[in-house]
Amino acid sequence: MATMEEIVKKADLLGYRGEKREEYLKQEFKLLNERQEKKEEAERQERKEKEEAERQERKEKEEAERQERKEKEEAGRQERKEKEEADRKERLDGARSSDSGAKHPKLPNFQDGRDDLDIWLTRFERCAESNSWSRKKWSSSLCALLTGRALDCYGRLSAEQAKDYDKVKEALMKRYDLTEDGYRRKFRTCKPAEGESPDMFIVRIVTYLDRWIELSKTDKSYEKLKDLIVREQFMDACPEDLATSLREKDIPTLERVAREADLFLKARNRKLCDQPRKLFQGNARPLIDSVRPLEPEKKLNGGQRSGEAKTSVADQRSCFKCKKTGHIARYCTAVDSTTKKAGAGVVVNTTEVNTAEVRKPAESPTMEVTDDLQSEVESGMLKLASGKSIPVMTNCAALRDLEKSRSLGLPVLKGEIGGREVDVMRDTGCEGVVVRKQLVDASQVTGECCLLLRIDNTALLAEKAVISLRTPFLSGEVKALCIPDAICDVIVGNVEEARSPEDPDMSMVVGAATTRAQAKREAVTKPLRVPDTDGHVGVDREQLIKLQQEGPRILALVDAGRTSRRGGKIVSFEKATGIVYRRYQDLGRYVDVKQVVLPKPLREYVMSVAHDSITGVHLGIWRTKDKVLSNFYWPGIDGDVTRYCQSCDVCQRTVKKSTVPRVPLQKVPLIDTPFKRVTIDLVGPIKPPSEAGHRFILTLVDYATRFAEAVPLRKIDTESVAEALVDIYSRLGVPEEVLSDQGAQFISDCMKEVCRLLGIKQ
């Protein structure tokens, strides 16, 4: 829009003069005013419309807020009404339940290991429904009747879960393997019980099927049930590894099962019809070169060694049950296995089987594997000398529930094998030691195999291994048979030095606490490092053997062949590759050292290396002796090392004697004020830790009253210890003095600052 100045300039440019110029300016000014008025009018109208829109928007917003408040108030009234109605109904239900003739009956407790949890819960639910119990109270009524593992499972639930009966029931059923797979196995394998009628048996089968379908979350339609049955049948018929993979993925449809199975087989270049690999295939040689069906070192119950058994005497004896010669009734294989004493283990000593049937004559204690024997073992049957064939097993069923075995009274305790914690069973029906194959290293396998006769008249093929055990029943290095799926991690039979099931060494299973002093005593001796020294060129193997043979006392140690045992420590002498060694074993610390028995000409040189050399640094008598004993030994080593160190010229010249005067004896002040002086210490680490992960204990003892306080800790850093101490002080009061063993946690800067702020003297 043009302004007045622009209009005047335009008139000048057009050359208007006089009246014409005035007329032009008048018209242009009039048009300019009209346009200005129209613009102002439009702006006024726009402002008016905007104000009207804002006013309408505010009105609508206020109306919406008013409506929302009204709806909230209505919802609140409805919620309060529903809550009052529910409370009234609950009160009526409680009054009806309390006023009914059948008040809460006193149900018997659930007996873990004796009662069937599924049947027991069914009875509980039927009783609760028939007596109109409020479902909210089912959980509290149920928990009062639980015992054993069921009560332990209930105690591990959170407070919210413990109030919900359905969640409590689900947790209990999982604890007792009452899952989808468990009910499926029950449905497939159930058999009539003694005294069970056909109607009762059918009801039990239907119950198993209903629970299976319910837990598998399958709709009760024909197509869904068909998928479930066909899917389970496919998994039962396919190879075990494929079935395991499919079960882990929990695939709901047959189409996905087929697709996943096809991918599994293609990835492994296999076919669905492929069978698992056998122990021996074709002309392939077995993993072991010899099969030893008998242990010559084992003894028969009569005391005679199995290797000394005479076949002529055995042939003269006859069995009064089968009337055949060559064995007695005790070893008769014709007797029903149910009449024999069944042990908890898996192996029966082969020396208790008819020796004429199991092995060749006594002149061949070992038996080489021939092609005939390989084919017999491969076909799954072992042909005995008598012509009888028995099946050969390469594994056995595992005992899945060790907790149940303990509740039934089986001797199952904790032990260690190679530093790993395992479950150990003492089996009086077994004549050897059995270990789960997964716990044995390849270096421990001896390369031998043993054919054993099990109690169900099947032969078991197992490898031998030398393992180190530390159990309540047996400790030390023993020969054991390796089985992939033994019923327990370790099974200890009737072997030499094995303790009876009634008399285990319970010190093996106690959660031991290790203090700093114990850790110092159990410190492993560092081996002796031998540098190049002047004055001695050393000796080779032949010279060492010659020097040992010239010493009469060294040869006498080997000829005596004595083995001394004291406090879990074993000392013996042996000769290997011509050299005489002293073997020292400490079963408690898992120490096994072989020391060369040193002849007299070499003893002074070894003591010089241990005491005078750069690595010796003129240590004291005990440390010098520890260095020597890490590799060498000779009779009278204590006196020789003592005299050598005391006669060392460097030590006599440099070490000052009695430079620190003895502290005079003083009277210890009596503390008569409670919590004036306390002592603190740490205990741990404790193995196994608690369920909450606590591995250490902070202890505090009052000097005056002997009052003790203990606090469990997960870790023992300065902050954790300081927080625990402050918590104790807040309950018992702040002491004036605190005594400790000057551990790193007690003398750190953080602990000093805490003591300064609290006014405690360390």
The CA distance from 261 to 274, in Å, is: 13
Q: Are 581 and 596 in contact (CB under 8 A)?
A: yes
- Rounded CA separation 90/86 (Å): 6
Q: Is the peptide bond before 688 cis (omega within 30 degrees of 0)?
A: yes
For residue 378, what pLDDT is reported? 44
What is the rounded distance in angstroms from the CA atom of residue 275 to the CA atom of residue 286?
Answer: 19
Locate 537 and state its tokens: 């060129």
Helix, strand, or coil (residue 514) = coil
pLDDT above 50 for 351: no
Q: Give kind and range of the element (H or E) at residue 26.
A: helix 19-99
How far is Cα 93 from Cα 99, in angstroms, rounded to an integer? Answer: 10
Entry pTM:
0.26
Amino acid (1-letter code) at residue 574: E
Q: Tens digit of pLDDT for each residue in 248-278?
A: 877 777 788 888 888 888 888 887 776 544 4
> Mind spelling out the 3-state secondary structure of 382-417?
EECCCCCEEEEECCCCCCCCHHHHHHCCCCEEEEEE
In the Cβ-directed half-sphere of 237, how many Cα atoms lie within 13 Å? Answer: 8
pLDDT in tens, 373-429: 333 444 445 555 555 555 554 444 444 445 555 555 578 888 888 778 888 888 887
Cis bond upstream, residue 685 (ω within 30): yes
496 close to 449: Cβ distance less than 8 angstroms: no
Closest of 583, 666, 692, 675 to residue 629, by C-alpha: 583
Q: Give the number of other CB atoms < 10 A from CB of residue 570.
A: 15
Q: In this structure, are residues 621 and 615 in contact, taking their beta carbons and an 8 Å threshold?
A: no
pLDDT of 482-522, one tens digit each? 888 777 888 988 888 888 888 887 766 544 455 565 565 55
Contact assessment for residue 689 and residue 720, using Cβ atoms and an 8 Å cutoff: no
Q: Which two tokens stand for residue 667?
A: 């009277």
- pLDDT exceeds 70 at position 93: no
Task: For domain 677-758, give its CATH number from 3.60.15.10, 3.40.640.10, 3.30.420.10, 3.40.50.720.
Answer: 3.30.420.10
Question: 3-state DSSP call for residue 276?
Answer: coil
Task: Out of 33-42, 83-92, 363-372, 534-543, pick the least confident.
Answer: 363-372
Q: Return the amino acid letter for 252.
A: P
- What share of the chain has pLDDT > 70, as a percent? 73
- Answer left, alpha or beta for residue 36, where phi above 0 means left and psi between -120 and 50 means alpha: alpha
Q: Do domains 541-654 and 677-758 have the same CATH topology?
A: no
Q: Name the nearest CA neighbour of 218 among 180, 168, 186, 165.
A: 180
Residue partners of 332: CB distance under 8 A and separation at least 6: 319, 321, 322
- Say if residues 573 and 555 touch (Cβ distance below 8 Å): no
Confidence band of 657 (pLDDT split at 50, 70, 90): low
Q: Per the structure block, which two tokens stand in for 409?
A: 């009274």
CA distance 35 to 1: 8
The pLDDT tens digits for 668-701 are 778 888 888 889 888 888 888 888 888 899 899 9
Distance CA 725, CA 717 (A): 13
3-state secondary structure string across 105-141: CCCCCCCCCCCCHHHHHHHHHHHHHHCCCCHHHHHHH
Contact in structure between 480 and 361 (CB atoms under 8 Å): no
Provide CB contacts within 8 A for 454, sequence distance 6+.
346, 347, 348, 393, 396, 460
Using the Cα atoms of residue 49, residue 54, residue 58 and residue 60 in order, give the sign of their dihedral. positive
Q: What is each CA distance from 559 to 27, 230, 316, 578, 624, in whole angstroms?
A: 147, 73, 42, 14, 30
Helix (H, G, I), strand (E, B) or coil at 611: helix
- pLDDT recorded at residue 621: 85
CATH classification for the domain delimited by 283-301+342-510, as one of 3.30.1490.20, 3.40.930.10, 1.10.10.60, 2.40.70.10: 2.40.70.10
Sign, Cα dihedral of 629, 632, 633, 638: negative
Per-residue confidence (pLDDT) for residue 190, from 0 to 100: 80
Task: Name the nearest CA neighbour of 483 among 455, 445, 457.
Answer: 445
Domain ranges, ordered by start, for the chain = 4-98, 117-267, 283-301+342-510, 541-654, 677-758
pLDDT higher than threshold 70 for residue 366: no
Residues 587/476, Cβ–Cβ less than 8 Å: yes
The pLDDT of residue 552 is above 50: yes
pLDDT at 655: 67
* Closest CA relative to residue 451, chosen from 522, 384, 542: 384
569-576 sheet: strands from edge to edge:
563-566, 569-576, 579-586, 591-597, 632-633
pLDDT digits (tens, 9 = 90+) for 445-474: 888 888 766 666 677 778 888 988 888 888
Under the phi-then-psi rule, with left for phi > 0, alpha for psi from -120 to 50, and beta for the rest, what region is 358? alpha
The amino acid at residue 582 is R
Summarize pLDDT for 191-202 with one digit per residue, the tens: 888 777 877 878
- Output the average pLDDT for the chain: 74
Closest C-alpha to 677, from 720, 706, 697: 706
d(CA 420, CA 417): 5
- pLDDT average, residue stretch 640-664: 76
Q: Give the pLDDT band (50/70/90) at residue 659.
A: low
Q: For 270, phi and psi rounded to 5 degrees?
A: -130, 170
Give the pLDDT score at 316: 55
Question: Which class in CATH covers the domain with range 541-654?
Answer: mainly alpha
Q: Say which residues have a Cβ less than 8 Å from residue 27's Cβ, sequence separation at least 6.
A: none
- Smallest Cα–Cα separation from 688: which of 421, 426, 490? 421
Residue from 493, 168, 438 nearest 299 by CA: 493
> For residues 704 and 713, what is the distance between their CA atoms, to the nearest angstrom?
26
Alpha-carbon gap, residue 446 to 463, rounded angstroms: 8
Residue 573 predicted with pLDDT over 70: yes
pLDDT of residue 103: 46
Burial class (CB in 10 A: 0-12, 13-18, 19+), 33: exposed
Distance of alpha carbon 615 from alpha carbon 623, whole angstroms: 12
Q: Would you give the end-to-end CA distance of the chain in angstroms?
A: 94
Size of the chain, expressed as the number of residues it contains: 762
pLDDT band at 526 (very low <50, low <70, confident <90, very high): low
Q: Is 126 exposed, middle or buried (0-12, 13-18, 19+ CB in 10 A)?
A: exposed
Percentage, residues of the chain above pLDDT 90: 0
